[in-house]
Amino acid sequence: MSERLDYQKQAPALFKKLLDYSMAAHATTIEEPIQDLIAIRASQLNGCGFCVDMHVKQATIHGERPLRLHHLAVWRESTLFSPRERAALAWTEVLTQLPVHGVPDELYERVRGQLSEQEILDLTHAVMGINAWNRINIAFRSEPGSRDKAWGLDKADLN
């Protein structure tokens, strides 16, 4: 498959606004390791190869352990994630694959047991951001690894 179009060049103002939103959502109460995990998990669920590739490389650069990255797809069965990380991953999954009847109260209460209201709001914005990126990269078939050098992801040394 080849890339359909370069959305960054076609609509630079909108690209910048989405980037600004994502950067603002990233600079919140949610710590970077959790931000990395939720970006990868949402991208896995959405089937966005470009974003999975990018965020695995970012997480590696940030010091994430390879085994945790391998376990992310099966985080419920893994013992490698803290209760706080589990809450963030559960929230990410429910917002990425919204149930017909919305977010269950039981899940909200479970997440609320690990994160403050501000943290839940900040996490929600981070999930919204990665889902937007997934959708645009899937729509236009962004090629995994195609922007590694420009974005410094080659430092992950995963090729």
Both tokens of 11, joined, read 């609509």
Please give the Cα distance from 129 to 24 (Å, whole number).
10
Tens digits of residue pLDDT in 114-127: 999 999 999 999 99
Provide the sign of the torsion angle of the four alpha carbons 10, 13, 18, 23, taken in this order: positive
* The residue type at 145: G
C-alpha–C-alpha distance, residues 156 and 100, integer Å: 39
Has residue 56 got a pLDDT over 80? Answer: yes
| Contact call for residues 71 and 80 (beta carbons, < 8 A) | yes
Of 3.30.379.10, 3.40.50.1820, 3.40.50.1000, 1.20.1290.10, the CATH number of 12-149 is: 1.20.1290.10
pLDDT in tens, 97-153: 999 999 999 999 999 999 999 999 999 999 999 999 999 999 999 999 888 888 889
* Distance, CA of 55 to CA of 43 (rounded, Å): 9
Measured distance CA(61)–CA(115) in Å, rounded: 26
Q: Residue 152's pLDDT is what?
A: 87
For residue 48, give the amino acid letter.
C
Inter-CA distances, 43 with 10, 12, 66, 113, 159, Å: 23, 23, 17, 25, 19
Domain ranges of the chain: 12-149
Global pTM?
Answer: 0.94
Length of the chain as a residue count = 159
What CA–CA distance (Å, rounded) separates 88 from 34?
Answer: 7
